[in-house]
């Protein structure tokens, strides 16, 4: 079944420019975008897992979980659910120290609790990226142990900033779709089996943020939930439409918010 089964027909959002692109990439032109800088490019953040090892957990490393299928299906959904001019047919993964990092105002990173290890230079680079207007979405890490691992790395980036829960009244949850609850999105195994949605001791899903001095979320942290698996497996009959629909709507809200704030 097509991923289109979860999409709302006839829903549009006005074509938007990227106001942050000029801050991140002064020419206003992404290497993968158009000459006016208005296209949205979805990019995944590739991180190392100790001693510069990009392979870490799994064949390619934890950063590559669900990649590239989840990214491709989500890009397709953006195109179908809105008229944001997203660049299609891309599966971009960008290293933290790549000179092109600042060409991408939006980055997606997941499985960060399994061993993501930042050097001082990488932490400084990510801090600069976000303080200059970049937006990072963290996804798919579960429970106390993985939270502790991620928190240790996050403190390298922002030693003086706190992680806060995002209230449902925040514009982020109303940038395009109105979201009035945070669902726990299960992986494909739990989703297709039904019943349990959590992993490890991650019973409660959270939408958290690190804010800049103007109270703009620079990093959105989805803890105890797995939007990426819903994006990847939305085309499977066994995966519940309720979870897939929510995951796509949350993702679109993240993008629209990042483009307008």
Most confidently modeled of 28-42, 46-60, 74-88, 95-109? 95-109
Taking the model in full, what pTM does it have? 0.85
Name the percent of the chain lying above pLDDT 70: 81
93, pLDDT greater than 50: yes
What long-range pairs does 242-249 form, CB within 8 A, spacing at least 24? Answer: 242/183, 243/183, 243/185, 243/186, 243/191, 244/3, 244/6, 245/6, 246/179, 246/183, 246/185, 247/185, 248/6, 248/7, 248/74, 248/77, 248/81, 249/176, 249/177, 249/179
Q: What is the mean pLDDT of residues 48-72?
A: 74
Is 159's pLDDT higher than 50?
yes
User: Does 63 have pLDDT greater than 70?
Assistant: yes
Write out the CATH class of domain 11-260.
Answer: alpha beta
Contacts of 159 (CB under 8 A, 6+ apart): none
pLDDT category of residue 33 using cuts at 50, 70 and 90: very low
Q: What is the pLDDT of residue 100?
A: 95
**Phi, psi (5° rounding) for residue 61?**
110, 155
Q: Where are the domains of the chain?
A: 11-260
CB 101 within 8 A of CB 129: yes
Which residues 6+ apart lie within 8 Å of 261 measured at CB? 171, 216
| pLDDT tens-digit series, residues 188-227 | 999 999 999 999 999 999 999 999 999 999 999 999 999 9
Q: What is the pLDDT of residue 65?
A: 93
């Amino acid at each position: 079944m097509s991923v289109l089964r979860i999409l709302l027909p006839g829903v549009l959002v006005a074509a938007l420019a990227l106001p942050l692109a000029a801050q991140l990439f002064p020419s206003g032109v992404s290497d993968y975008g158009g000459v006016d800088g208005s296209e949205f490019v979805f990019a995944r953040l590739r991180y190392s897992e100790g001693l510069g090892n990009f392979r870490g957990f799994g064949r390619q490393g934890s950063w590559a979980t669900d990649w590239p299928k989840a990214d491709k299906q989500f890009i397709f959904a953006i195109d179908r659910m809105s008229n944001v001019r997203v660049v299609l047919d891309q599966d971009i993964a960008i290293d933290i120290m790549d000179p092109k990092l600042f060409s991408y105002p939006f980055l997606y990173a997941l499985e960060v609790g399994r061993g993501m290890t930042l050097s001082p230079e990488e932490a400084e680079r990510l801090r600069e990226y976000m303080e200059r207007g970049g937006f990072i979405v963290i996804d798919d890490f579960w429970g106390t142990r993985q939270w502790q691992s991620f928190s240790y790395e996050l403190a390298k980036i922002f030693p003086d900033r706190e992680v806060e829960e995002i209230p449902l009244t925040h514009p982020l949850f109303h940038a395009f779709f109105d979201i009035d609850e945070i669902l726990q999105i299960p992986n494909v195994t739990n989703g297709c089996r039904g019943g349990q949605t959590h992993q490890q001791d991650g019973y409660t899903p959270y939408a958290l943020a690190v804010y800049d001095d103007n109270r703009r979320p620079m990093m959105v942290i989805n803890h105890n939930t797995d939007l990426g698996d819903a994006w990847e497996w939305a085309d499977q009959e066994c995966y519940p439409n309720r979870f897939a629909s929510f995951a796509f709507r949350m993702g679109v809200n993240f993008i629209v918010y990042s483009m307008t704030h």
